Amino acid sequence: MSRSFKIELPKIPSDLEKANFQDIYYDEEPYLSNCIITDTAIDNDIVEKLVVSKVVFKNAKFIDVSFSKIDLTDVIFENCDLSNSNLCEGIIHRVNFRNCKLLGLNFSEANLGNVSFENCIANLCNFSETRFKQVIFDNSTLQGANFYDCLLNKVKFNESDINDADFSQTSLNGIDISTCHFERLNVSPESLNGCEVSTEQAIGFASLLGLKVKSIN
């Protein structure tokens, strides 16, 4: 049976003020709070240990930007592009990615709690050694994404493309991938124990166990 759960949504005030992302460069400790940032574009930069709280990003582009050890709490990214950027070792809590381009984004060794990815393109994302708790991937593309050695606690993959994703050393026990599309996955038989799959997917996985499925007329 699927493990039903709800995630906590970002707690965003209704009276956010407009702000410029570039303002962080004037602070000794980079910090953004209670604001909305639109149509900004940053590339090939390094911003370490940035703290972001109660912020909405719209139509923002952060390309090849290093945000290592970022702290995101109560944040929405809408129609944003974070391709090839780095959020490794980040703390990401109550964050919503909507209609975002996240190609090759690095989440390695991060902690994700109450995070949703809606209609996102996240091919080749690196989630290796990341801890997930109450995370939803909804109608998103995760081709070739790396989930190596992850801890998945209450994670949903709804109507998403996970073709060629790598789940090596990651248990899929209690994870429902029955509505997902894929032709190939990098996963061991042991990791599949307790995973929820469709009938068609089960036939495909049978080959991992050395089984030959015969149709009976």
Asked whether residue 17 is domain-assigned, the answer is no
In CATH, what number is assigned to the domain containing residue 50?
2.160.20.80
> Residue 91's pLDDT is what?
98
φ/ψ bin of 21: left (φ > 0), alpha (ψ from -120 to 50), beta (otherwise): alpha
Q: Is residue 44 part of a domain?
A: yes
What stretch of H or E contains 82?
none
Instruction: Select from 186, 178, 146, 147 the least CA-distant residue to 160.
Output: 178
Q: How far apart are the first and last CA of the chain?
A: 30
Looking at residue 211, what is its pLDDT?
Answer: 57
Rg (CA), the chain: 19
Tell me, yes or no, if the pTM score tops 0.85.
yes
What is the domain count for the chain? 1
Domain that residue 71 falls in = 34-209
Kindly state the average pLDDT of the residues 51-71: 97
Question: What mean pLDDT comes out for the span 173-180?
Answer: 94
User: Is residue 29 a part of any domain in this protein?
Assistant: no
The stretch 43-69 carries a mean pLDDT of: 95
- Please report the sign of the dihedral spanned by the C-alpha atoms of residue 202, residue 203, residue 208, residue 210: positive
Place of tokens 């990401």: 92
Please indicate, yes or no, if residue 1 is contained in any of the structural domains. Answer: no
